[in-house]
Amino acid sequence: MWTRELAVSAPGKVILHGEHAVVLGKVALAVALDLRTFLRLRPGAEGRLSVSLPGVGVRRSWDIPDLRALRERIAADGDESKSPSVEQLDALREFAGIAAGASAPDSLATLAFLYMCLAISAKYGDVPSVDIVVCSELPTGAGLGSSAAYAVCLAAALLMLCGAISCPLQEGESTARWTEEELTLINSWAFRGEQVIHGNPSGVDNAVGTWGGALRYQAGKITPLKRVPTLRILLTNTKVPRSTKILVAGVKEKILKFPAIMNPVLDSIDAISQECQSVLEAMPANPSAEHYPVLEEFFDINQHHLNVLGVGHPSLDRLCQVTASHSLHSKLTGAGGGGCGITLLPPDTSPLAVEAAKQDLCACGFECWETKIGAPGVTLHCCSSLSAQVLHALAQS
């Protein structure tokens, strides 16, 4: 029996430096974005497991004996190091009535839920009768790690329900974190969920969602940075759709065509990532204004480099021009070609300048959030400590 009402949250992510160069073995820095996905757990009807994802229009409920029978049929063995097989996913699609090849967010989110639920319960025991509701502050498909934040929340919740990890929230506490060992287990299961959704993910997004702060990624190796400060930013979604695949292919083509010109650009992007890591690790938790001019110069130089690689876009140029008119520095984040940009907000930035920049960006048809990077990773919450906005979103199920 599960008797408590609790919530789990995990952050999204942005790439601070190293986009595109990372594909070619260079260093990238990924940072946790304080726009979060929230999952609420509460006791459910006896013998039933229900999940509601109002953001993507999912409301499903299953009898636990039926899930148990399905688990036997697909031979879910609960090994977190094993990737989901094609046969297992086909059987889950059939069970859930999801068409073969369906790739809409509702289908993939349902599939990831079922796979993680069955694989985790195969190893640790049945998931009890609970109602699960998930809402997110992250836009989907914007390269901000929304699917990984969902997978991290699911992994933490399901592992806790099955007793594989503790419930660290003590009476009277508003939030709690898991131990390093438990976070490692959460991360490995969240990666399985990401494999269901993306096929062949890098593991960066779920690692940022699990540990928070900032991570260095190079040639498949993920290293958390020590003592990362929390920095204020504006995050702007230009809402211009783009294909990461096409953009990556375009960069590759340019490098093959002009290797003597393009390889030094990639080396310079790599150097920016490494220099930026040194600056971030040298900054105190509450940094003062003198560190920011260096970070701003890194933004400016890297944005020019990304334009040279061919992944800029007129919408991103506009974003940089608008924020520059308010003495703020911006760069694209992620694949480029549209998508999102980030703007650094030094501590001495006046609230009026921030507000004016936001208004000007929204007047361009962009969507804008004032948020932070370097946010905490997956966290357990007492529901009463959540904001009214989040509680309202979780009640929409």
Positions marked active-site: 147, 205
Provide the 8-state DSSP code for 254. H
Sole residue written with tokens 């933490």: 156
Q: Where are the beta strands (DSSP E) in the chain?
A: 6-17, 28-43, 48-53, 58-63, 130-136, 175-176, 214-218, 221-224, 231-237, 329-333, 340-344, 367-373, 379-382
Q: DSSP letter at 142?
A: S
Per the listing, tokens 């890194």 go with: 298
Around Cβ 266, how many Cβ atoms within 10 Å?
Answer: 21
- What are the DSSP E strand ranges found in 127-213? 130-136, 175-176
Chain-centre distance of CA 112, in angstroms? 15
Distance in angstroms (rounded) separating the CA atoms of residues 285 and 10: 21
Distance between CA atoms of 319 and 95, rounded to whole angstroms?
A: 46
Q: Report the C-alpha gap between 123 and 77 in whole angstroms.
A: 7
* Pairwise CA distance, residues 23 & 20, whole Å: 6
| Bridge partners, 53 (sequence order) | 58
* CA–CA separation, 177 and 168 (whole Å): 7
Neighbours of 275 (CB within 10 A): 16
Q: Give the pair of three-digit tokens for residue 38.
A: 């929230």
Residue 186: its H or E element = helix 180-198
The helix (H) or strand (E) run that includes residue 158 is helix 146-161
